[in-house]
Amino acid sequence: MNTKKIVITGGPGTGKSSVLQEFSRRGYTCFPEISRQVTLEAQQQGISQLFLTDPLLFSKKLLEGREKQFLDAEKRDAERVFIDRGVHDVLAYMDYAGNPFPPYFTEVCEKCRYDAVFVMPPWKDIYVSDNERYEDFQQATAIYRFIKSTYIAYGYELVEVPTGSIPLRADFILEKLGIAMPE
């Protein structure tokens, strides 16, 4: 089966994970964001913010995890898999922070081609920072711009998801994918 890989991306705190949870609730196959998992694992090892302490190691772990999600999606017996962030997000964050990365980062991004990329815009009304999300809203907006430009540089046509309720945002994505909505 040629499983379609659909990325939901955007800056921090834009509602990506909530929309993915809605897709999961509706019975779609979804892969969660893995940066919180990487951050929590580092915190358990006594490193409060691995991205700030060792950005290259943090990004390498993210890239490996997201590449694994891409490959796992290809093995799924599902028509489509929704993925919370793609491999390209890693490059966008590294560029945002001004951190260099080795050439294999770009090789992974060239190899992993998604079928569609939906981007969630910054939305101040729902933005909240927490223990794993340290950026303020202005930084989150800047990251969003880096994410957009990174995907565009790799030849993607992004579909921006309008703000609104979680079900409405999920419906918008499904409609853009040509998936019939139940009456």
| Model pLDDT, residue 80 | 95
Per DSSP bridges, beta strands 4-10 and 80-84 are parallel
Q: Which of 165, 172, 171, 176 is nearest to 123 (CA)?
A: 165
Between CA 150 and CA 165 the distance in angstroms is 27
Q: What is the CA radius of gyration of the chain?
A: 16
Specify the pTM.
0.90
Domain boundaries, the chain: 4-174
Mean pLDDT of all residues in 14-28: 93
What phi and psi values does residue 125 have, to the nearest 5 degrees? Answer: -60, -25
Taking only the tens place, the pLDDT of each residue in 127-157 is 466 555 566 778 888 999 999 999 999 999 9
Q: What percent of the chain has pLDDT over 70?
A: 87
The residues with which 94 forms a beta bridge, in sequence order, are none
User: CA-based angle 174:178:183, to the nearest 5?
Assistant: 70
| Distance from C-alpha of 74 to C-alpha of 81, rounded to nearest angstrom | 9
State residue 111's pLDDT score.
96
Residue 37 C-beta-side C-alpha neighbours within 13 Å: 9
User: Which segments within 130-172 are labelled E, that is strand?
Assistant: 158-160
Does residue 2 or residue 107 have the better pLDDT? 107
The Cα 106–Cα 139 span in angstroms is 24
Per residue in 29-88, pLDDT (tens digit) is 999 998 878 777 878 877 677 666 778 888 998 999 999 999 999 999 899 999 999 999
Query: In the CATH scheme, what is the code of domain 4-174?
Result: 3.40.50.300
